[in-house]
Structure 1
Amino acid sequence: MDRRGALVLIAGAIAAACGRTKRGDMTSSSTRAAQGTGKMPVIFIAHGAPPLLDDAAWQAELAAWSKAMPRPKSILMLSAHWEARPIAIGATSAVPLVYDFYGFPERYYATKYPSPGAPELAARVRELLRSNDVAHADEPARGLDHGSYVPLISMYPQADVPVLQVSLPGLDPKELFRFGRALAPLRDEGVLVAGSGFLTHNMRALGERTTPSWATEFDAWAAEIIAKKDVDALVDFHARAPAARLAHPREEHFAPMIAAAAAAMGEPGEVTFPITGFWGLAPAFTRRSVQIG
């Protein structure tokens, strides 16, 4: 199966399965904790392909999650679908959408999400990266890819929260962690730092009819080390996680988890999993999403 066919298959599988998978515990305790410390939480979203825009159950899960969190002043998105060196800072005035997928019905290329730009956030990100000696550049024509706008449409459907997407620096875990730590002060400034990817992502496993043991093991391991805020294990996941190479033949979908978590590691705050389970027709792909703080 070529990449185009695989994308179409996983999109349909995820959309069809969404309403039949387990939903995690979503209490108000995390909201109270974040409000009590004055910090915004950090989140990681298991995002899906564009057909999930048609799935009412998945949209409802995301909407409930966003309503349980403090309302952000702005959102910083870190998607699995944008890597650049040096780190690139995206559009800050009009924020276009990047239709970075192929082979879908035409209506998905007509999707709109006219979120306000976030020039003040971009200026603050530049300042933080400079002060931490992290190379960066502006890419003002680059908007939100599907890893960003697909979940945001459900979480903030009014498109009234300023959004900035910033690239990942690459896939080196230590570099990702350093990048994420540089962003940590944003939590005190009303900014929701959001990574978007998958905790298991192996396109060759699309044909699986049941959840493979390696996917279950990696998902459970990731949940445990994230809950413990185990920095060393997170950064060294290649060596420490069970079936790391099967869960992530290429690490781009785990990379946003490392960068986002780094913005919250070493600080107080409850870890919760607002959405859990595996996609029913793509059972090698975990739906686990994360909130820290």
Structure 2
Amino acid sequence: MSFLFPETPAAAFDEFLAATAPADRGRPTWTPDDGPMPALYLSHGAPPLFDDPHWIGQLFAWSQALPKPTAVLIVSAHWESAPLALSAPEAGTPLVYDFGGFARRYYEMTYATPDASALARRVAALMPATEPVHASARRGLDHGAWVPLKVMYPWADVPVLQLSMPTHDPARLVELGRRLRPLREEGVLLVGSGFMTHGLPFMTREMVEFNAVPAWSSEFDAWVAEALATGDLDTLADFRRAPGMPYAHPTVEHFTPLFVTLGAATDPTAAPTTVIDDFQIGMAKRSLQVA
């Protein structure tokens, strides 16, 4: 698959910036007349996303189908920290390049978003006294946040703040999403960022190169899709015993952001809208939104 071994790193992203991304310039920002913003769970990818024109197109089309948010609050698989913490809200906070073995180009990418201090204050105000939010002075956006958002909002003109994931307990994460739900009525896009299957240790080079989908990946993805369609949160919460486990998630941090998204829904048991449901390098990219 050419996007895994590009002659020119991020060439697909460069073409996207020149040919497609200008459609996002000047789009009006959300107003109350648009109604609450949805909450998303997205499979976020890593630097190879910038070499995959198909995935770039999927994410950008998704963002264009939504009102442009007043801000983005994102919970990523790559920041597990308790107690709750927020990334530094200042404009242009440096990124976290939490990956290795890629071309230099990806470590030179920037995403200088506007000041998000107002959102930081709102998030802190929504949390109970028993769970205060620590404000980080230096922590920037990790690749679970800036990689997909750099495609969805390529001009970095939307304030972005990252919230740490303090637990993998589904009930607690659903409750966290519920607390954050009022932000949707203020035009804030809430995002849980993970990957629907993430069994990287079990992928062979041949699987990766030819996008061969192993049974553990397709079976876990189908199980999730069925549980979501029926609003069965109890089944989803028992994900450690799902088909394909533990290969689909040898560690669970790429799946559990889903529960923050579901908690932020007006009705967490309502079936979400699946926006992306294909595979990259054998892993399920299933991504969805809830109202």
Cα distance between partner residues in 2 of 1:203 and 1:265: 34
Does residue 273 of the first structure (1) align with residue 274 of the second (2)?
yes
Does residue 264 of the first structure (1) align with residue 279 of the second (2)?
no
> Are 1:91 and 1:143, in contact at CA under 8 Å, matched by a contact in 2?
yes
1:270 Cα deviation (Å)?
6.1
- After superposition, the CA RMSD in angstroms is 2.6
Which residue is equivalent to 1:178?
175
Cα distance between partner residues in 2 of 1:236 and 1:261: 15
1:244 Cα deviation (Å)?
3.0
Which residue is equivalent to 1:193?
190
**Once the two structures are aligned, what percentage of the paired residues are identical?**
47
Deviation per CA, 1:27-74, whole angstroms, max 9, x where unpaired?
A: xxxxxxxx8882111111111111322332221111111000122111
Which residue is equivalent to 1:248?
249
Cα distance between partner residues in 1 of 2:285 and 2:112: 27
Output the amino acid matched with 1:212: P
Cα distance between partner residues in 2 of 1:184 and 1:229: 18
Cα distance between partner residues in 2 of 1:176 and 1:42: 14
Which residue is equivalent to 2:224?
222
1:137 Cα deviation (Å)?
0.9
> Are 1:215 and 1:247, in contact at CA under 8 Å, matched by a contact in 2?
yes
For residue 68 of structure 1, the aligned residue among 62, 65, 70 is: 65
Name the SS for the 2:94 alignment partner: coil
> Are 1:78 and 1:260, in contact at CA under 8 Å, matched by a contact in 2?
no
Choose between structure 1 and 2: higher helix proportion.
1
| Larger RCO (alpha carbons 8 Å, 6+ apart) | 1
1:175 Cα deviation (Å)?
2.2
Cα distance between partner residues in 1 of 2:39 and 2:170: 18
After superposing on structure 2, the runs of 4+ consecutive aligned residues of structure 1 that deviate more than 3 Å are 13-16, 267-270
Output the amino acid matched with 1:115: T
Cα distance between partner residues in 2 of 1:97 and 1:12: 23
Cα distance between partner residues in 2 of 1:68 and 1:138: 32
Name the SS for the 1:77 alignment partner: strand
Unmatched runs of 5 consecutive residues or more in structure 2: 13-31
Name the SS for the 1:252 alignment partner: coil
1:286 Cα deviation (Å)?
0.4
> Are 1:116 and 1:163, in contact at CA under 8 Å, matched by a contact in 2?
yes
Unmatched runs of 5 consecutive residues or more in structure 1: 1-8, 19-34
Which residue is equivalent to 1:154?
151
Number of residue pairs matched by the alignment: 263
1:82 Cα deviation (Å)?
0.3
Cα distance between partner residues in 1 of 2:254 and 2:138: 23
Deviation per CA, 1:233-282, whole angstroms, max 9, x where unpaired?
A: 2223224x223322111100001111122111626976222111111xx2
> Are 1:115 and 1:161, in contact at CA under 8 Å, matched by a contact in 2?
yes
Which residue is equivalent to 1:212?
214
Which residue is equivalent to 1:110?
108
TM norm structure 1: 0.82
Which residue is equivalent to 1:27?
none
Cα distance between partner residues in 1 of 2:5 and 2:187: 36
Cα distance between partner residues in 2 of 1:232 and 1:167: 24
1:164 Cα deviation (Å)?
0.5
1:212 Cα deviation (Å)?
2.0
Alignment CA distance shift 1:220-1:130 (3 Å):
same
> Are 2:197 and 2:221, in contact at CA under 8 Å, matched by a contact in 1?
yes
